[in-house]
Amino acid sequence: MREKKLKETIQATRTRSMARDVVKRFFRNKAAVFGLIVILVVLFFIIFANVIAPKELVTAYDVRARMAGPSAEHLFGTDNIGRDTFARIVHGTRITVGIGVGATLLSLVLGAILAAVCALFRKADMVIMRIVDVWNCIPAILLALVLLAVFGGSVGNLIATLAIVNIPGFTARIRSVLLNIVEQDYIQAARISGTGTGRLVLRHILPNAVNTIIVDATMTISAMMLSAAGLSFIGMGVSPPSPEWGAMLNYATEYYRTNPMLLIIPGAAVVITALAINLFGDGLRDALDPKSLK
Amino acid sequence: MEEYKYEYHGRFFLEADGLSMHFPAKTDAFGRTTSWIHAADRVSFKVPKGKTLGIVGESGCGKSTVGKMLMNIYQPTEGRVLYDGVDITHLSGKQRRPYVKKMQLVWQDPYSSLDPRMRAGAIVEEGMRNFLPELSEQQRREKMLQILNMCGLYEEHASFYPHQFSGGQRQRVCIARALSTDPELIVCDEAVSALDVSIQAQIINLLMDLQEQMQLTYLFISHDLNIVRFISDEIIVMYLGQIVERGTTEKVYLHRAHPYTKALFSPTPVFTPGKKPEKKTLLQGDVISPVDPPAGCRFASRCPYAQEKCRKEDPPWSNLEEDHYVKCHLFA
Amino acid sequence: MTNTTDNGPLLEVRNLSVDFRIDRKTILHAVREVSFTVGSGETLGILGESGCGKSVTCMSILQLNPARTTIYPAGEILFEGKDLLRISPKEMQHIRGNRVSMIFQEPMTAMNPLYTIGTQLMEAVRLHRPGIAKAEARELVLEAIASVRIPNPDRIFDTYPFALSGGMLQRCMIAMAMLARPKLLICDEPTTALDVTIQAQVLELMNELKEKEKTSIIFVTHDLGVINEMADRVMVMYGGRKCEEGETAEVFLHPAHPYTKGLIASHPSPDYTGRRLPTIPGGVPSLKDMPKGCPFNNRCSLATEKCAGTFPEYREISEDHLAGCFALEQQGENHGRV
């Protein structure tokens, strides 16, 4: 009788493939699914921007339709020189989200590599952490301004600048996570089982750090989007005609009394996208954790 | 330093020769170390093949440090580790590899010693992947299932994550992992201390069964005398980084000589059903700090029999009877 | 049935059940229909493995289980005639630390690392004797520290917890618990985290204080040896149920419940010389998977169909010795005493 019972419990808890577990756990989280949907919409905008709204509409102005409210022709209305807000938002997605994601990924990859070197090699740790300390002492905004002033405010330069400003933070945070993991017995156990450093990092250390890194990265993406907007505002980022959301937002502050739509639309775009990315990140973290399997 | 003479009637297998481990405790302004933590001092022992050596002592006595020096997790400050007669203390990574394969470790905490993101099967297969590359994937899987079975787990357990196991089952997975590279020596560092009593007995029995089947040699590190006595052929008692008494299990257990061994054995609320335990030797105070320990006997500050001599001179080893040695002035 | 004094037992727990609500659908039964009494000046040992409900039972007495998730579906906890499950939080606050104190397993985390030992003990005094003069409180604290046999109470008074060893801290915890001269002291595995020689010192000290202060003690542990040394009476728990209860010597000499028997057997006595340690097969199931009926039925060699249905009535094996097992019925009145 006991044997049978044991078999039954084993059947009940039998695990499926890792990927299916993750997907199943992810879709149980409603907020994360909302995040995913918004991200899909954003991706759709990025890929099919030209199909949704012809590129000419971004700069084409129609003085007769200045400051128009929402209509069939102009879904989100027009701005003070009659440009279609909807088209600008759709095309701005590429720039704003591109800068946020690009800068985050670049700094994340470089920061993670530095952090891994720190966590594994004590001597390199000393050197890298001192450099990071100095790096952190230079005010981020000043560093960004100098770099942009020297190299000019293109999208590529903006990404590079924001990434450079972010690397020390990522390095320090990921390093502390990794150091914690490296001290666990199971890392030592893997070493004793003959696992080499490369495999140790890929199979044991990174999967256990991924939780924290995902949340950190998603929060950084939204912060980067806002920083890009800020830099555009003071004229150091993307130059005016391009429909960067932050630039649009700053531009709209002049007209917020007469035409609040101009302010609300890009603001909402930034907020919703940032929120969606954060929710998605939280959901992904939970889904990747085998302990949340019920 | 020849500290004792100890005759074995068998082939030596693992030998620790005067192992010391000193960690820097304080450094001066120029980065020079001014005081040292003496985690282990001149620890020597020999373990024949297929036998179990028990190392007993309280926390901070250096018993885990000794295990880690054998496994090369710590590089000893002094002394050598001989494996089947070969000095393996200062080997490079590549030269060491064949010995790493033969020596495995089982940790105290079955929660932190398993990667929470790997299934039990993958955990057990990892060592084979690294050390037995001649096995095909199919063979590896078969061997993994066979080992799980030997450790009292079912095939289904291979696909479980560590958190899905109970504490005892986790420790079985840890033992299975240790067995995966066909080791000859397993260091068990407090391997059953974190488990419930009825589960402890199961794991000890499992370890003893495996020893019989595979001719394993164990170094069994624990603070629990009742368990050490049960599984060990010989016992070493350590206090503050030094060995204070050694001998075959029976002799150390029945004729315990060193005042510390006596105190260590008696206060365990030894269980005799229905009988109030007899009055026991109570030690005063705590273990002293291992930072720059004083000359003389390190136990002197807590020893009820301590004399002037004990505080000044390091006690010599005395031979009490065959295979039973003690480091104490009382017997000199 | 129990060692009652003239005024009845100090603590009487009747039919206590404790549930934890995990989410909307899941309710875990941590403790089921447990009854026991503690007479004044008596030490009751609660013995069991992890997850048997021994700690939850103790926490229920002081209402220290997480309030949001804990449900008490049935039972009474009568302390000096008052039902602790039904008094106001304010009254409870008064009982906690004043009439009933508790000592925890981890002395390292039970003290606030930011304040000196003296400050924390003084606070305990002032909490229960508001308006006491500072000098008098200090006097009391120093006395308490000295009473747990710590040399140089003055020095310890101004020491921070990190500077003390586990054994010293646990003594300070005992001093703190005894400051209010409680009627009942609950000790949840107080020596498990300590080294053997230190454990012996602390147990000795507790026995001494008990003699002196006539405090009743509930001593929770998984260590049979400690129970044997400390407890007058013992209650064995498994899977949230009481399996057996009685005078310590009687229960350990003539265990009646198969679980108690297995537990005692798997603890090798000094003269045991068998090749293998006796064990209980299987492991303790998690609360979620606890079998119906008698929780031990999936590990028990005597289990029958009946055991999976309901939990048996408790039978009196001898005077003041109860056990709940169907096997006892079938084998007649006196089977427990083989």
ipTM of the complex: 0.80
Nearest chain B residue to A11 by CA distance is B156
**Nearest-CA distance from A22 to chain C in Å?**
21
Amino acid B96: pLDDT: 85
Tell me the CA end-to-end span of chain A in Å, nearest whole number: 26
Asked if residue B277 has pLDDT above 90, the reply is no
Q: CB–CB of C289 and A5 under 8 A?
A: no
Q: CB–CB of C228 and B168 under 8 A?
A: no
Residue in the structure block whose two tokens are 């169909």: C305
Q: CB–CB of B131 and A193 under 8 A?
A: yes
What element of type H or E holds C15?
strand C11-21
- DSSP lists the bridge partners of residue C82 as C79
Asked if residue A155 has pLDDT above 50, the reply is yes
A42-84 pLDDT per residue, tens: 898 888 888 877 777 777 776 676 666 777 677 777 777 777 8
Domains of chain B, residue spans: 12-28+35-331
Task: Give pTM, 2 decimals.
Answer: 0.81
Instruction: Give B201's contacts in chain C (Cβ within 8 Å).
Output: 266, 268, 277-279
CATH number reported for the structural domain that contains residue A162 in this entry: 1.10.3720.10
Nearest chain C residue to A9 by CA distance is C289
Judged by DSSP in three states, B178 sits in: helix
> Could you tell me which residues of chain C have a Cβ less than 8 Å from any Cβ in chain B?
49-50, 165, 167-168, 195-201, 203-204, 222-226, 228-229, 248-250, 252-253, 262-264, 266-270, 275-280, 283-284, 286
Q: A212, A186, A190: which is closest to A115 by C-alpha?
A: A212
Q: What is the mean pLDDT of residues C256-264?
A: 90
**Nearest-CA distance from B12 to chain C in Å?**
25
CB B245 within 8 A of CB B326: yes
Look at chain A and report how many structural domains it folds into: 1
Asked if residue B187 has pLDDT above 90, the reply is yes
Dihedral angle, C-alpha C234, C236, C242, C247, nearest 10 °: -30
Q: CB–CB of B272 and C267 under 8 A?
A: no
- Which pLDDT band holds residue B201 (cuts at 50, 70, 90)? confident
Q: Number of A:C CB contacts under 8 A?
A: 4
Lowest mean pLDDT, pick from A23-37, A253-267, C61-75: A253-267
Residue in the structure block whose two tokens are 């905004």: A141
**Percent composition of chain A: helix, strand, coil (DSSP 3-state, to 5):** 80, 0, 20
Provide the token pair at B117. 């993101």
Q: What is the mean pLDDT of residues C137-143?
A: 91
- Which pLDDT band holds residue B270 (cuts at 50, 70, 90)? low
Angle between helices C134-147 and C117-128 (to 10 degrees): 110
- DSSP lists the bridge partners of residue C238 as C241
Amino acid B209: pLDDT: 92
The answer to the question of residue A65 being in a domain is no
* Euclidean distance between CA atoms C155 and C168, whole angstroms: 13
User: How, if at all, do strands C184-188 and C70-79 pair?
Assistant: unpaired
Lowest mean pLDDT, pick from A13-17, C74-78, C162-166, C174-178: A13-17
Work out the number of other CB atoms within 10 angstroms of the CB of residue A26: 17
Q: In the predicted model, what is the mean pLDDT of chain C?
A: 85
Choose between B267 and C238: higher pLDDT: C238
Choose between B223 and A294: higher pLDDT: B223
Q: Which subunits have 3 or more CB–CB pairs within 8 Å of chain A?
A: B, C
To probe the interface with B, which of A7, A185, A285, A294 has the most B CB atoms within 10 Å? A185
Residue C289 near chain A (CB below 8 Å):
yes
Residue A121 near chain B (CB below 8 Å):
no
* Partner residue opposite B208 with nearest CB, options C200, C269, C276: C276
Query: Which one-letter DSSP state was computed for residue B118?
Result: S
Nearest chain B residue to C247 by CA distance is B274
Nearest chain C residue to B206 by CA distance is C276
Q: Which amino acid is at A58?
A: V
Q: CB–CB of A9 and C289 under 8 A?
A: yes
Amino acid C319: pLDDT: 85
Q: What is the mean pLDDT of residues B258-283?
A: 69
Asked if residue A8 has pLDDT above 70, the reply is no
User: How, if at all, do strands C70-79 and C11-21 pair?
Assistant: antiparallel
Asked if residue C106 has pLDDT above 90, the reply is no
Residue in the structure block whose two tokens are 């450790």: B151
* Euclidean distance between CA atoms A34 and A261, whole angstroms: 24
To probe the interface with C, which of A3, A4, A5 has the most C CB atoms within 10 Å? A5
Q: CB–CB of C196 and B268 under 8 A?
A: yes
CB B327 within 8 A of CB B317: yes
Amino acid B216: pLDDT: 92
Domains and CATH numbers, chain C: 11-99+180-269+276-337 (3.40.50.300), 105-179 (no CATH)
Q: CB–CB of C197 and B267 under 8 A?
A: yes
Amino acid A37: pLDDT: 94
Instruction: Give C279's contacts in chain B (Cβ within 8 Å).
Output: 198, 201-202, 205
Q: What does each C-alpha distance from C317 to B319, C311, C338 come to in angstroms?
A: 53, 17, 11
Q: B251, B233, B260, B262: which is closest to B321 by C-alpha?
A: B251
Q: Number of A:B CB contacts under 8 A?
A: 75
Asked if residue B177 has pLDDT above 90, the reply is yes
Amino acid B278: pLDDT: 59
Instruction: Give C266's contacts in chain B (Cβ within 8 Å).
Output: 197-198, 200-201
Nearest chain C residue to B169 by CA distance is C283
Amino acid A150: pLDDT: 87
Q: What is the mean pLDDT of residues A25-39?
A: 90
Query: Which one-letter DSSP state was computed for residue B172?
Result: H
Q: In the predicted model, what is the mean pLDDT of chain B?
A: 85
* Euclidean distance between CA atoms C15 and C57, whole angstroms: 11
Domain B12-28+35-331 has CATH 3.90.1010.10: no
Angle between helices A122-137 and A155-182 (to 10 degrees): 140
Lowest mean pLDDT, pick from A227-241, B55-69, C41-55: A227-241
- Which pLDDT band holds residue A9 (cuts at 50, 70, 90)? very low
**Nearest-CA distance from B98 to chain C in Å?**
33
Domain that holds residue A95: 18-58+72-292
Instruction: Give C282's contacts in chain A (Cβ within 8 Å).
Output: 2
* Euclidean distance between CA atoms A38 and B176, whole angstroms: 46
